[in-house]
Amino acid sequence: MIVELYKKNWKKLLRSERIKNTVYGNGIERYGEYIFSVIEKLPSPDELKKLLEKVGGPTTVEELGIPQEIVIESLNEAHHLRDRCTGLLLLNQIKETPIRL
C-alpha cells in the first residue's frame, strides 16, 4: 500500500505549495528529485505482491486480519506517532481528502 501511495503521489508532492511552505520544504526542494528517483526504483505493487506470495506472506488487508477501517485510520494518522519526516507524513500534509484504500 505504501509503495503504491508513494509512486502515485510523489510527483504531486514535489510540486506541492503546501510542502514548500512547511519546515520540510527546503529538504524536499533540495533532495526531492533524489528521493523520487529512489521511489521510482522500488518494485511495483504487483511485483511486491508476487514476492510476498512466493514466500507465503499476506498480500491483502483481509489476509492480515486487520479491519479496513483500522488500516485507513492508520494511513491517515500514523504520521503523528513519531516526530520525524516520512513519506506518509508528507502525503498527509498535501492530501485534500483522507487517504483511502
Q: What is the pLDDT of residues 6-16, one digit of tens each?
A: 999 998 988 89
Residue 16, helix vs strand vs coil: coil
pLDDT at 20 (0 to 100)? 86
* Rounded-to-integer distance, Cα 73 and Cα 41, Å: 28
pLDDT at 101 (0 to 100)? 82
* Signed CA dihedral, 97, 100, 70, 78: sign only: negative
In the block, residue with C-alpha cell 492480515 = 64
pLDDT at 67 (0 to 100)? 95
Name residues of the chain where pLDDT drops below 50.
Answer: none
pLDDT at 41 (0 to 100)? 96
Give this prediction's pTM. 0.81
* Rounded-to-integer distance, Cα 46 and Cα 74, Å: 22
